[in-house]
Structure 1
Amino acid sequence: MKLHSVPAATGLQWVRLGMRTFLRQPLAMSGLFFLFMVAISLLALLPFIGTALSALLTPAANLGLMAASREAADGRFPMPSTLVTAFRAGPEKTRGMLVLGGLYGLALLVVLGLAALLDTSAPVAADAAEMTAEAMVQATLASPSLWVAMVVMVPLQMLFWHAPALLHWHGVPPVKSLFFSAMACWANKGALLVFMLGWMGVFMLLGLVISVVGALLGGAQVLTIILYPAVLFMASMFFTSIYFTFRDSFHTATDPDGTPPPTDEGAPS
């Protein structure tokens, strides 16, 4: 396994590959993403330990979605059991994935603690109920804790972006997988930036289309009916595309299981 640098334009190819792979298995990919969200949300509702458990299992769940994307890219139907791929590779890799989850939860705790320390917002006034939505948004955006949390989350996401896949498919130990993930993200920062901007553009375009369709067909009620499945599909497409950011960031002659890596038309060589 070697780090592979790609041109910035590859970010748009990742967006396109995510869309195309999703459209091969739209029901499977959206269904798996829905199960992922439901599982994480239900865990978070458990008293005392729910939030910790959801953070602990997040890297494993992300790996499951990447494995599902790989199955769909290879023309196979990803089954629900794909979501627990991280726990089907033996006790050593299972322990490693749980270590990643623990580190992820600890890192989130540090970020939230730092944001809380820097939260200097004034106490809510007695007539806060009369505040307009615009005023509430402005007050939120003015909070330094929000911006600090957003800035700190960037290196945190870089550390964990490729780490579960590196651990599972290449046997990289947890701490080393974090290091190599951050190195890969930095080496391909141009492509990842284009990737994120591309998806932002797609979501903005989708929002515009939904607004126009809702206005033409009946206003807010129709808009609500259209919005939820559209957001589910788009979020599923985004998570489908993450697999390709990993696949093209590390150069190997063969996949870890000995089969040649998938070759998609238009993918970088």
Structure 2
Amino acid sequence: MKLNSVAPKEGYAWIRQGIWLFKQNPLGFLMLVFMYVFTAQLAVIIPVVGVFAVLLLTPTLSVGFMTACRQAIQKERIRPMVYLIALQSGVLVRKRMLQLGLIYAALILLLSLILSLLVDFELLLPLMTGDKVISPEALRQIYLVLFFGAILYIPVAMLMWFSPVLVAWADMSVPQALFSSWLACWTNKAAFFFYLAIWSAVLIAIPLTIGMLFDALDFGQAASFIIAPISMAGLTVMHCSFYATWKACFTEDEIVV
């Protein structure tokens, strides 16, 4: 497994490659993303255990989606059970994937605790319950959550970006995979910055602009019918582009499907 260094402009190329990959099997990829979003929403209903289960299985689901990307390139059919392929790859891989899941869950818990010290979540209750009009201070707290949350999540993302695939496809140990993932992201930080900046505009700025435009025209309720499919399609293409980041940052000595 060879680590590559790429130019900053590759960040845009990854998105173009993600779009191309999405076109190979749009229904299959949309199905996988919808399944994940739907399952995650159901899991949140179960206090503590549901959220923990989603975090624990996130690395496994990541390998499943990346495997689906390979299948789409090879013109193979994408099936829902692809999400579990990492757990079917042997005892050692399954053990390492669950260890990664535990590490990810612990990091998210730590991130949440730190965030709770920086932001007053009590002011956000009107937004979550819909009982009161959101005050300017509550709105400021929302922006603080987004800002600090993004900053705190960067090191977590660097550790977890490639580590599930490195464990499942490159037979790396968990510490080696975490370090290699971090090193790959740091080595290509300029390309990742460009890549994430574009996705931030697509998935956050554009939906917000559409929402504000419809609100100004007094069509606020109709905005969701436009924003929801755009966001779902954008989220799916973004997941497809993860495979492009993998192919650019690492050269595989041997392809294992």
| Aligned counterpart, 1:107 | 107
The change in CA–CA distance for 1:89 and 1:123 in structure 2 (over 3 A counts) is closer
Distance in structure 1 (CA, Å) of the matches to 2:97 and 2:195? 26
TM alignment of 1:52-201, pairs within 5 A: 52-119=52-119, 121=120, 131-132=133-134, 134-141=136-143, 143=144, 147-201=147-201
- Preserved CA contact (<8 Å) 1:44 1:53: no
Q: 1:209 to 1:254 in 2, by over 3 A?
A: farther
Structure 1 residues 54 and 212: CA distance shift in structure 2, 3 A: closer
The alpha carbon displacement at 1:63 in A equals 1.5
2:37 is aligned to 37
Percent of aligned positions that are identical: 26
Secondary structure, counterpart of 1:248 in structure 2: helix
Question: Which consecutive residues of structure 2, in runs of 5 or more, have no partner in the other structure?
Answer: none
State the one-letter code of the partner of 1:155: P
TM-score (normalised: structure 2): 0.86
Q: Which has the larger radius of gyration?
A: 1
1:24 aligns with 2:21: no
Please list the CA deviations of residues 62-118 of structure 1 after superposition, one character each: whole Å capped at 9, or x if unmatched: 111111122212332311111112112111101110000000011111111222234
CA distance in 2, matches of 1:252, 1:233: 29
Q: What is the CA distance between 1:173 and its match in structure 2?
A: 0.9
TM-score by structure 1 length? 0.82
Which one has the bigger helix percentage? Answer: 2
How many residues align structurally? 251
From the superposition, tell whether residues 23 and 130 of structure 1 become closer, same or farther in structure 2 (CA, over 3 Å): same
Instruction: Tell me the CA shift for residue 168 of structure 1.
Output: 0.5
Q: After the TM superposition, which parts of structure 1 deviate over 3 Å for at least 4 consecutive aligned residues?
A: 121-124, 127-135, 145-149, 201-215, 217-222
Could you tell me which runs of 5 or more consecutive residues in structure 1 were left unpaired when the two chains were aligned: 258-269
Shift of 1:246: 1.1
Once residues 222 and 122 of structure 1 are traced to their aligned partners in structure 2, the CA distance between those partners, rounded to angstroms, is 29
Structure 2 residue matching 1:112: 3-state secondary structure: helix
Structure 2 counterpart of 1:164, which letter? Answer: P
Q: Decide which moves more: 128-137 or 76-85.
A: 128-137
Q: CA RMSD for the aligned pairs?
A: 2.9
